[in-house]
Structure 1
Amino acid sequence: MTASRQGAPGLTFSRLADIILPRLVIAPTALACLIGFYGFIAWTAWLSFTESRLMPRYEWAGVVQYIELFGNDRWWQSMQNLAVFGGLFIFVSLAIGLVMAVFLDQKIRGEGFLRTLYLYPMALSFIVTGTAWKWILNPGLGIEKMLHDWGYTQLTFDWIINPDFAIYTVVIAGVWQSSGFVMALFLAGLRGIDDSIIKAAQMDGASLPTIYTRIIIPSLRPVFLSVFMILAHIAVKSFDLVMALTGGGPGFATDLPSIFMYQHGFTRGQLGLGAASAMMMLFTATAVVMPLLYSELRRERRG
C-alpha cells in the first residue's frame, strides 16, 4: 500500500514531463516560424495598403498601391510570362519525370547510376543552372556556335536574345533542373504500389501499357498533387534562375512577378507597390493550390 502511494507522484511527474517537454522543445521553432513567416506576411500586407516609398510608412492609404499595380503594363507582362513559364514548366516537368520514373521502375541494369544522373541537376543552385544555360544558349558560345563550327551555318538557335522565344529558355533550364526531382517522387510512389495488384492484372491478360495507364498511374493521384504543389511553388517564386539566365530581358520578355516585386520594392524606392505585388503573388499561389487541396480532402473523406 505504501509503495503504491510513493510510486504515484513519480508516475504523475513522468506523464507531465511527457506532455510538457515536447511542447517546450518545439516552442522556440514554432515561435520563430510564427513571427518570421506569418508575422512578416501580415507586415507586408499592411505595407501594401500604405504609401510607403523608400522607407515604410504605416498610415492607412487604402488600395492606391493595388490600383497603381493593376494599371502597370509591366506587371501584366510579368503575369503573362508567369502563365507561360509556369504552365509549360509544370506540365513538361511532370511528363518527363513520370516517363523517367516508369522507365526506371522496370528495374533495368544501371538503375542506381541513372537515378543519380537524373537527380544531379537538383543538387545545383538555380544561379548555377541559369549561368550554365546562359553559356549554352549564347549564340556566340553555345549550341548555335557549335552547329556553325560543324558546317550547319544556316541553323540558328538564338532564343535567349529573341524576345518572342526568350521565356522558353527559362522553361528549358527549369525543366532540366527539376524533372529529376519529379522523377524521384514518382519513383517512390511507384515502388510503394503492391506488386500483387500488378501480378493479378497480368494474370487477367492486361498488357504492361494498360496496367500503367489504367491501374498504376491513377493510383499516383496523391503524388501528382504533391508534385504539382511543389512545382507551382517553384514557378511562382522563380527569381534567381531568371536573373542568372536572362536578367528579365530582353526588354521585359522574361520578366516575372518576383522580379517586378524585387525591383520596385528594393531598388526603385516603391516599397508599397512591391508589397502589393508580393501579396498578389501570394493570392495567385493560393488560388492555384487551395482548390486542389480542398478537392483532395473531400475525396479522402468520401473514401
Structure 2
Amino acid sequence: MKERLQDYIPKLVLSPSFFLILVFVYGFIAYTGYLSFTDSRILPSYNWVGLENYERLWKLPHWWRAITNLAIFGSLYILICSVLGLLLAILLDQKIRAEGLLRPIYLYPMALSFIVTGTAWKWFLDPGIGLEHTMHQWGWESFAFDWIKDRQMAIYTVVIAAVWQSSGFVMAMFLAGLRGVDSDIIKAAQIDGASAFTTYRRIIIPLMRPVFLSAFVVLAHLAIKAYDLVIALTGGGPGQATELPATFMYSYTFTRNLMGIGASSAIIMMIMIFSIIIPYLYSELRTGVKR
C-alpha cells in the first residue's frame, strides 16, 4: 500500500499543472485553429467557412510583406548571431584573464526584456536624439544614420537590436560546446603540428554540430514569434516596413477586427515553429536511441 501511494503522490502533485497546461496551452491552440476556419470578426463566430481565411490571407500584400520581412530578419539574425556568438566563444575559450568580467557583459543583454531593448535602441537610433544627433554635436555634420526612418532600411535596425540582445546567449551555448570537446583530441592535433586555426576549423567546430543545431532552433523560434521588440523599436513602421507575422496577427485580430484571418496567421506561425522543432526533436531522440 505504501509503495503504491509513493507512486501516486508525484502524479497527484503534477496533475493540476498538467491539467492547466492542457487547457490553457493546447486547448487554446485548438480553439485558435477552430476559429481560423470560421468567419469570426470582432467576436468569435462559429459559422464554418473552411479554408476561406487561409485563401484570403495569402492574397493579402500585407501578409506577404510580413513574410518577406521575416525572411530578411530571420536569415540575418540567425547568421550574425551564430557567427558573432562563435567568435566570442572562441575568444573566451582562450582562457583570457578578463573572462570572468567579459562573460557577464556579453550575457547581460539577454537579461533584459525585448521591450527594454527595443526602447533603448529606438532612442539610440533616432536621428533627433540618438547617434546621429550626438555625432553632429561633436562636429561630424555630414554623418547620417537614419535607418529607423527609412522604409528600405528599417528592418535592419530590428536585426541590429535583436543581434545585440541574443548574441551573448549564443556565445554561452557555443562556449559550453567548446569546453565539452575532448581535450585529448585537441592535444593530438597540436602534437601533429596543427595550428590553432586549423584545429578549430577541422576538428572542434565540426564536433559542435549539435550545438549549432540547437542554436539554430532557438534563434529561429525567437525570430518567428518576434513581436515585442518590433513594437517597441519601430511599431511595425515606418508604414508597414517592419511588419512581421506576429505583429500582423495582432493587427488583424485586435485592430482590424478580423479574428478569423488573425487566427489563420497564428496557425501558420505555429506550423513554421513545428516544422523546425519536430525534426530537431526527432534527430535528438534518434541520436539518443543510437547511443
What TM-score do the two structures reach when normalised by structure 2? 0.95
Query: Which residue among 192, 195, 198 is the counterpart of 1:207?
Result: 195
Query: Which residue among 231, 238, 250 is the counterpart of 1:262?
Result: 250
1:19-98 to 2 correspondence within 5 Å? Answer: 19-98=7-86
1:180: which partner in 2? 168
Percent identical:
56
Moved more, 48-57 or 58-67: 58-67
Would you say 1:196 and 2:216 are equivalent positions? Answer: no
1:224: which partner in 2? 212
Q: What is the SS of the residue equivalent to 1:217? A: helix
Would you say 1:130 and 2:118 are equivalent positions? Answer: yes
Q: What is the SS of the residue equivalent to 1:250? A: coil
Letter in 2 for 1:197: I
1:293 CA drift (Å): 4.3
2:5: which partner in 1? 17
1:282: which partner in 2? 270
Greater Cα radius of gyration, structure 1 or 2: 1
Q: What is the SS of the residue equivalent to 1:261? A: helix
1:300 CA drift (Å): 5.7
1:144 CA drift (Å): 1.1
1:69-104 residue CA offsets vs partner (Å, 9 max, x unmatched): 111110000000011001101110111111101110
Number of residue pairs the alignment of both structures matches:
291
Query: Which residue among 146, 164, 168 is the counterpart of 2:152?
Result: 164
1:18-64 residue CA offsets vs partner (Å, 9 max, x unmatched): 32222222211111111111111100000000000111112321111
1:103: which partner in 2? 91
Distance in 2 between residues matched to 1:119 and 1:244, nearest whole Å: 21
Consecutive aligned runs of 4 or more in structure 1 exceeding 6 Å deviation: none
Q: What is the SS of the residue equivalent to 1:167? A: helix
1:9: which partner in 2? none
Distance in 2 between residues matched to 1:222 and 1:91, nearest whole Å: 16
Query: Which residue among 214, 223, 228 is the counterpart of 1:240?
Result: 228
Distance in 1 between residues matched to 2:163 and 2:71, nearest whole Å: 15
